[in-house]
Amino acid sequence: MEYPIFALTNKVAIVTGASKGIGVGVAKSLAHAGATVICAARDSKALNSVVADIQEEGGTAHAKHLDVTNVAQIKGLFTEISQEFGAIDILVNNAGLGFNHAAVDVTEQDWDDMMNVNQKGLFFCCQAAGEVMLKQGSGRIINMSSQASVVGIKDHAVYCTSKGGVNQLTRVLALEWSNQGVTVNAVAPTFTYTPGTAERLDNPEYLEKVLERIPAGKVATMTDVAAAVVYLASPAGAMVTGSVLMVDGGWTAQ
């Protein structure tokens, strides 16, 4: 019997939106598993701090500036990375926007801003990585979705729509690419405690309302989400493709 392997030694991984929140946890966890991690985002100062932390812990990481709303920049950067590092083995599409508005208050700009990042930017990152991975005959793409992709959440019409689209795109790309060695999956977290969500989740009243919907009785940690990503990126996840892995403490089981 063969036993599952979770190590990512000698793998090259790109993490978008790696300058804050879940992206930081994912980048650090991939590096801890042995990958060379390309941390990509717009905030170069924050990226440099993340890379320094990874290197201090003995991992390998590099910072690259990326605005996922700029398709030409995506294509240029992914070509640069594949040439510089010899491969792109893993892509984690983590960059995303999240804000809430009552549906009647949503403006065209609100819609465009979120879709440009959560759907358009994500798709063209998939495409750019896919071109490299298909030539290699191997690769792992993990798209960051949300529990809001499968259940409705009041005042989140645009966000829920964008993440529902992520799930469908994940399935289609899996159908097109899996027989060529490239798996495509999504990870869908519930409310996750990060420096960015701490202000809300540290509010007892707000937290109580959230926990009423989570059977596990707690919010997710960055480690919880990163663990799912590492699994799907690893050899252990080779037979998983076209799936949306819920990391929601049971929220969507209701």
pLDDT, mean of residues 220-225 = 98
Domain 12-193+221-249 indexed as CATH 3.50.50.60: no
Q: What is the pLDDT of residues 156-186, one digit of tens each?
A: 999 999 999 999 999 999 999 999 999 999 9
Q: Are 47 and 21 in contact (CB under 8 A)?
A: no
Q: pLDDT value at position 202?
A: 96
Token pair, residue 115, equals: 């879709």
- Active-site residue set: 159
Question: Which pTM does this prediction carry?
Answer: 0.97
> 226-254, pLDDT tens digit by residue?
999 999 999 999 999 999 999 999 999 99
Residues 127-164 pLDDT 10s: 999 999 999 999 999 999 999 999 999 999 999 999 99
Q: Is 96 helix (H, G, I), strand (E, B) or coil?
A: coil
DSSP H/E element including 247: strand 244-247
Helices marked H in the chain: 21-32, 44-56, 71-85, 108-115, 122-136, 157-177, 198-201, 204-211, 222-233
Structure tokens at 191: 């409310």
Contact 94, 30 (CB under 8 A): no
When pLDDT is averaged across residues 68-83 and rounded to a whole number, the result is: 98
Does position 4 have pLDDT exceeding 90, yes or no?
yes
In the chain, how many H helices and how many E strands? 9, 9
**Domain layout of the chain by residue ranges:** 12-193+221-249
Instruction: Report the pLDDT averaged over residues 101-125.
Output: 97
Taking 90 as the threshold, does the pLDDT of residue 60 lie above it?
yes
pLDDT of residue 59: 98
Q: Percent of the chain, pLDDT > 90?
A: 98
Q: Which of 176, 105, 102, 179 is nearest to 138 (CA)?
A: 179
pLDDT score of 99 more than 90: no
Give the whole-angstrom CA distance, residue 73 versus residue 90: 19
pLDDT, tens only, 29-39: 999 999 999 99
pLDDT at residue 108 in the model: 97
From CA 139, how far away is CA 234, in angstroms rounded? 10
